[in-house]
Structure 1
Amino acid sequence: AVLSRDEMRLQAVAVTVSLTVALAYYVYVPLPHAIQEPWKLMLLDATFRTTRHLVRREMLWLETAVYPEELKVSDITFAGVPVRVYEPPAGGEGHLRRGLMFFHGGGWALGSEKGAYDIVNRMLSDELNTVVVSVEYRLYPEVQFPAPYLDCLAAAKHFLSPEVLASYAIDPERVAVSGDSAGGNLAAAVAQEISVDDTVRVKFSVQALIYPVLQALDFNTPSFLDNQNIPVLYRTLMVRFWLQYLGLDLSLQPDVLANNHSSLDHSNITRELRARLDWTLLLPPRHKKGHKKVIVEKGSEGTATEVPGLLDVRASPLLAGPEVLAKCPRAYILTCEYDVLRDDGLMYVRRLQDAGVTVTNDHYEDGYHGAFSFIVWPFDFELGQRVVRGYFNWLKNNL
């Protein structure tokens, strides 16, 4: 039958309404009232979810114009690892500059030193007169743990050699290591190794960790449970990143979400190791929020034995012993209230402090994961500007 004009109009309206409702349903995520610019965050999250399987290295960010024009940017290699070096204009004779090595985030599977990270590193190099080295470590699926860590460690040792520091006119007493999310994991692990390696003469002066990933044994901390559905890092996505990084089958996700992989029958997960990430002891009272620790008596057989990376401090820096932490450099740890990784960072703050390390915890009560990168139009957020500015200010005063 041929539809009348009115029937066609009604059909078009129905289709439009249906598509609008479907789009709103896809985009909408319930968010806490404290989060500012909620619809903007929902749209960003929807974009990430739509393109995550298509976009790997650029993570939606486009290469930007040089900032500032007099900054020298070089794409070279350190110990065979690709790096991007940002050099501010040279000062007067004998004038030494700060140095900073940066590892980008992205779950060891996404991202690069370009885009939003490129903008932040250019700004930092210019404003703080700092030689910044951003490391392009290898990513999943080409590699798994420990390859990204080994790339970052090799680049760090090369950077810290007196000859290289001298060639860039960097003060060896003012060199930082930094990173966000999975990059914060790599920065913490590299900082630990450099601190205890007697063959490395120059050590990092400070470490700046931005909502770092620090452990893979407990995915039922208060922040993992309370923020499991907060964009852009969902609890299930963080577990997926870990499974990929450690070479575990993705079908194990339900077991890992239930903490079956770290059950009490794993004899090689000692009581001492468990205490190093026991949030009931390490978190401030206000973040426990009445939660109870999820402890499984008998879980997945052999996981901890078959996957040694699960207990490797190079993958989970929170598992490091107090004798290692005591040698670590002064720390800046940025945490966000609405982030599944909040408690990883807060526990590391406490453990470093207990080991005698001076720590600044910059906690954003309205913050969420990824804010450090949300400074590029059209996904530029006021929170992102504050987070980056706080990071700059701490480095300015402490590096």
Structure 2
Amino acid sequence: MERKDYIAWKLGFSNRHTVTRFFMNGLPIFKQDPRLHIKKLQFDGVPVKQYQPREDHTKHQRGILFFHGGIGIWGSLYIYERVCRYLARESASFVVSVEYRLAPEHPYPAQFEDCLKATIHLLKNAKEYGVDPDCIVISGDSSGATLAAAVCQELVKRTDLPKVRAQILLHPFLQAVDFNLPSYQQNAFAPMISKNTILKVGLKYLGKDWSLLQVAMKGSHVPEDMRIKWKTWINPDHIPKRFKSRGYKPAPPTPFSPKVLEQSNEFFDTTFSPLLAEDDIISQLPETYILTCEYDVLRDDGLLYKKRLEDAGIGVAWEHLEDAFHGIVFVLEIPVFPFSCVTRKLDFVVKFIKGLPVSGEISLAGGVKAFTKGGGGL
């Protein structure tokens, strides 16, 4: 082992992912928040961190589970510390940030299993935490939103648990069928997460070889019968014209490769691609908030899910940030990054949460009906 590698190993940097995680985590927040009770817990063996307002103005509080982003390989509680504090303070809610296991040390779908386990624990024991069991919200950012969507879909099958009140999906990844949607073309080299990065890290997350990168980009992993079925849900024609104004060129058809499909079957798991869930699952989902950003490869995933939910009769609140890029939430309340869209993004979320009344409380915010079309409609 070379000296530089030995030093890195002794410091705990055993691979490139641990290095990336270290720098993404940044400096921890040592300052206490006098308005919140903050502590680490275990939910059925899954590490979590709770943020609970000290002042409780209702009999029970709303409960919010938050799943961090990072494509299942990066991310942690530390990155989203400011976000969770903000949500707990401003919405007067009991927020639980879930520290799910990361790949490649813990192969997919360990991440989904941890999030599901933590969610079930809160649903079963809500009252012990001062939470209204009928007002529990599942939320996530980026790949955390993927996990949130997948957990919500899984829970519609459960009749032994309280129903999830709502889901909040912040610029979610939702499908691995078409990587040539307008947002993938327009934002291929956008800040924070490029088209190449999301595919390479996504393959690593699933334990796949990077040799699949180019064929996946072209769509060679999708059989013709599946392509026809999913065209109803994943279709550039469903993306409104205004989102193609920065350029879009339909991708030429590519031949299907059975060998590629054999290597990439997990692409179509609904725990990885929630947009592929069957209609009977989609139609049972709770009220939903979706946020999309203009300069984001994942923008169109959110738009397509919005349409699918609305077509199924699910109430959807949607906001679109014209001036934001993927991952902008990381710089919340950091003075050297004065992006006004960060606070606007979370204020939209807070408004939605406040529109969900808890037991004995009358909603004054108006809930989903107050801003169903969000950023101006489609």
Bin of the TM-score, shorter chain as denominator length: 0.7 to 0.9
Q: Give the SS at the match of 1:302.
A: helix
Superposition misfits of 4+ residues, deviation over 4 angstroms: none
Q: Which amino acid aligns with 1:340?
A: V
Q: Does 1:257 align with 2:214?
A: no
Q: CA deviation at 1:155?
A: 0.8
State the partner residue of 2:287: 330
**C-alpha deviation, 1:296, in angstroms:** 3.4
**Mapping for residues 109-124 of structure 1, pairs under 5 Å:** 109-115=73-79, 117-124=80-87
- Written as runs of structure 1 = structure 2, the 5 A alignment for 1:366-385 is 366-375=323-332, 376-385=334-343
Q: What is the RMSD of the two structures over their aligned residues, measured on CA atoms?
A: 2.1
Residues 231-310 of structure 1 correspond to what in structure 2 (within 5 A)? 231-262=191-222, 264=224, 269=226, 271-280=228-237, 282-289=238-245, 291-294=248-251, 296-310=253-267
Write the deviation string for residues 45-66 of structure 1: whole angstroms up to 9, x where unpaired.
xxxxxx9772315614321134
Distance 1:57 1:299, change over 3 A: farther
Q: Distance in 2 between matches of 1:171 and 1:57?
A: 36
Distance 2:242 2:336 in 1: 35
Q: How does 1:15-26 map to 2 (within 5 A)?
A: none
- How many residues align? The count is 340
| Alignment deviations for residues 79-117 of structure 1 (CA, whole Å, 9 cap, x no partner) | 11111111222637x8111100000011111110114x1
- Trace 1:29-44 onto structure 2 (pairs within 5 A): none
How big is each residue's C-alpha offset from its partner over 1:307-362, in whole Å with a ceiling of 9 and x where there is no partner? 33111111100111221111111011000111100000000000000010010110
**Secondary structure, counterpart of 1:351 in structure 2:** helix
Matched, 1:313 2:276: no
SS at match of 1:214: coil
Verify: 1:139 aligned to 2:102, yes or no. Answer: yes
Distance 1:157 1:236 in 2: 35
Aligned to 2:322: 365
Change (3 A) 1:102 1:82: same
Question: Kindly tell me: are residues 77 and 256 of structure 1, through their superposed partners in 2, closer, same or farther at Cα, counting changes over 3 Å?
Answer: same
The residue identity in structure 2 corresponding to 1:388 is: L
| Unmatched 5+ stretches in structure 2 | 1-15, 358-378
Q: Does 1:346 align with 2:303?
A: yes
Match of 2:163 in 1: 203
After superposition, the C-alpha distances for 1:221-262 in whole angstroms (9 at most, x for unaligned) are 000001111111111001112211222101221212222222
The answer to whether the Cα contact below 8 Å between 2:182 and 2:244 also exists between their aligned partners in 1 is: yes
Aligned mate of 2:60, from 82, 96, 99: 96
Q: Is the 8 A contact 1:72 1:87 kept in 2?
A: yes
Q: Give ranges in structure 1 of 5+ residues lacking alignment.
A: 1-50
The equivalences for 1:7-86 within 5 A come to 54-56=19-21, 59-86=24-51
For residue 337 of structure 1, give the secondary structure of its aligned residue in structure 2. Answer: strand
The answer for the alignment partner of 1:44 in structure 2 is none
Instruction: Confirm or deny: 8 A CA contact 2:212 2:260 kept in the other structure.
Output: no
Write the distance in 2 (CA, Å) between the matches of 1:374 and 1:102: 17
